[in-house]
Structure formats: C-alpha cells, structure tokens
C-alpha cells in the first residue's frame, strides 16, 4: 500500500548564530532523530492497533524544518480497523497535542505532556488520582496546586522512552547558539504554535525526574473490541476479546448492567459484534520500569454495543420495513 502524507508541521530554531549563518543539519541530527522517535513512540502507545507511522524531516528555510508524518497499514486487519474508526489526520494531530508539540488554543502553553512537565517544574508530582467516572487524571504539584490531564497524557508521562526522547529533542536549546525552538502546523501557526526557550529546556532536561514510582500503574482509555466467541445465559465475568487489529486480550467485565444482561441472556455476544468500551489497563512495575507488554484488563463500561446481524436477519428487517 502506498504512503500518504497526512500531516506536516514546522520545527523552527531561533538564535543569533542561526540568523547569521543558518544551522548545520549534522549538528541537529541527534535531536531530529529523537523527535521522530518521540512521535513514533507516542503513536505506538496511544494507538497500537492503528496504522504504522513514518516520520521524515527535511530542511525548509534557514533554521526551519518540515516534519512530514505518513501513515500506512501493516496488514489488512489494520486497514479495515482504520477505515472503521475514521482516523488519520485528526489522530496524528491529537497525538502531537497530547505530547505538547502543538496546542489546540492560543491561551496556554498546552495541556499535553510537555505542558505537564513544565507545570511540575521538572519535579515528581505530590499525587496523581483518576477522576471518578472520567478518563481524566488530576496531578498535584509540590505547592498543592492541581491540574487535570487526559489519560493519554498520563500514559505518555509514565513511559521512560518518551522522557528520553524529550530530553534529547530539547538538547540544542542547552547550547549558546539556539535561544528558542518553535513547533506548529504549517497552515495553522497562530493557533497551534508552541515556543520553548532555554528556561523551559532546563526543566525539560529533568523530565524523567517527574515520573511516579508505583508497584502497579492503572490507566483507562477508550477501545474498540470484538468478542472472541459467543456467550450464553450465565456468562462469566472474565471473557476473551480481540482488540481491533486482532490482538487477543482477556478482560474482566465490571459493567454490572451489561454483565446482568449477559447473565440473564438478554444479550448474547457474537464474535462479529462490535463494542466500544472504557477499559482499565493494570500494569506491573518492576525495578522502576512499567511492564507495558503484559497488562491486565478490566472493562469499566460498555459505552456502545453494535450487535452482529446476519444477512438473513437484515433482509427480514428490510422486508418488514417495506411492508410497514
């Protein structure tokens, strides 16, 4: 399948030496490479079932670079999932917002991960709690101030690879030659621009210090699932599902209303049903590292249930409608 550039943004470096002489790409190669790794890792964590992503950086003007993001399907199942969930441009844009590379308004530095790290002043939060019945988390800093972030930002905040990449991306700002780095969507500069100076770079260089130490880490997000097999009256709470992309998982259903319907036989799962769920992922933390490869799953709420209707049933329903 051919590649298609879905989104591009500008990375602009500013400084006296750049204004006079431009900038040598070789000097920036490690930082630009880490920027690509940061974007790819973000996509891998937040949208693991979607298309893969390519990052290409090319010179644009003196001190400026265009970062092209392209998405491609690694298999047919992924291609079908992406057409079903209608992602691409908006998905990529959201991921950049969650990292904090761009923002979606002109009032604040951004509610993404970079904004969170700066708000924490490069220090470990005093507390983090999930806000009940939401997909948001509340962080408290050492001064007792509180801020809300999305579950996606919390997931990024808990990943050491993300912090490593951020610290490498901002490294040029720690030199005397570069004073500011700005990033923005090419066609939406005023609305999306983020500008980081040397003071922000000093805080971001301590990014990893803001990570929280847990024995277990619990995060929630929305996900589309397909049942592994059908269900019958008296269904068990633990059931197997396929995440889109045919990734098998086993999850405990905590949604009592939905579970009651299954147990009483009012709902009977079919392997072609589609469920949109709020799912809790529980990760073990060993020696300070989160084990993202072996999570335990709990389905907190089924927010949308689309039962499978065989072709014969669809034909019958259509006939009844025509008669009516």
Least Cα distance to 262 among 286, 240, 230, 288 occurs for: 230
- pLDDT score for 157: 92
In angstroms, rounded to a whole number, what is the distance separating the alpha carbons of residues 6 and 92?
8
How far separated are the first and last CA of the chain, in Å rounded?
45
pLDDT tens digit sequence for 142-191: 899 999 998 889 889 988 899 999 999 998 888 777 888 888 888 888 88
Rg (CA), the chain: 23
Local confidence band at 125 (pLDDT 50, 70, 90 cut-offs): very high
Domains of the chain, earliest start first = 4-210 (no CATH), 216-312 (2.40.50)
Q: Measured in whole angstroms, how far is the alpha carbon of residue 177 from the centre of its chain?
A: 33
Distance CA 99, CA 306 (A): 32
Q: Quick one: tokens of 229? A: 């097999």
Look at residue 25 and give its three-state secondary structure.
Answer: helix
User: Per-residue pLDDT tens for 74-122?
Assistant: 544 444 444 444 446 778 888 899 999 998 654 444 469 999 999 999 9
Say what the pLDDT of residue 269 is: 85
The residues near 277 (Cβ < 8 Å, ≥ 6 apart) are 222, 223, 224, 225, 299, 300, 301, 302, 303
Summarize pLDDT for 202-214 with one digit per residue, the tens: 999 998 888 876 6
pLDDT at 109: 42
Q: What is the pLDDT of residue 219?
A: 75
Cα atoms found within 13 Å of the Cα of residue 139, Cβ hemisphere only: 27
């Amino acid at each position: 399948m051919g590649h298609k550039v879905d989104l591009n943004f500008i990375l602009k470096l500013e400084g006296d030496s750049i204004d006079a002489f431009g900038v040598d790409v070789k000097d920036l190669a490690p930082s630009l490479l880490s920027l690509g790794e940061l974007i790819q890792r973000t996509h891998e964590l937040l949208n693991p079932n979607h298309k893969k992503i390519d990052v290409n950086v090319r010179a644009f003007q003196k001190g400026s670079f265009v970062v092209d993001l392209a998405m491609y399907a690694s298999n047919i199942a992924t291609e079908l999932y992406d057409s079903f969930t209608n992602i691409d441009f908006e998905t990529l844009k959201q991921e950049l917002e969650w990292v904090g590379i761009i923002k979606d308004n002109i009032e604040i530095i951004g509610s993404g991960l970079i904004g969170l790290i700066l708000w924490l002043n490069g220090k470990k939060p005093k507390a983090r709690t999930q806000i009940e019945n939401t997909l948001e988390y509340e962080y408290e800093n050492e001064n007792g101030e509180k801020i809300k972030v999305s579950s996606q930002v919390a997931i990024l905040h808990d990943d050491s690879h993300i912090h490593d990449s951020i610290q490498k991306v901002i490294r040029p700002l720690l030199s005397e030659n570069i004073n500011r780095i700005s990033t923005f969507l090419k066609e939406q500069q005023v609305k999306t621009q983020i500008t980081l100076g040397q003071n922000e770079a000093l805080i971001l260089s301590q990014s990893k210090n803001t990570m929280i130490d847990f024995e277990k880490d619990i995060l929630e997000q929305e996900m589309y699932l397909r049942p592994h097999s059908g269900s019958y009256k008296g269904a068990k709470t633990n059931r197997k599902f396929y995440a889109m992309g045919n990734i098998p998982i086993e999850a405990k259903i905590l949604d009592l209303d939905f579970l009651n319907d299954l147990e009483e036989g009012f709902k009977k799962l079919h392997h072609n049903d589609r469920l949109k769920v709020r799912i809790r992922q529980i990760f073990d933390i060993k020696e300070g590292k989160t084990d993202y490869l072996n999570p335990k799953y709990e389905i907190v709420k089924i927010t949308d249930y689309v039962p499978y209707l065989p072709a014969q049933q669809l034909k019958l329903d259509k006939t009844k409608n025509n008669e009516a």
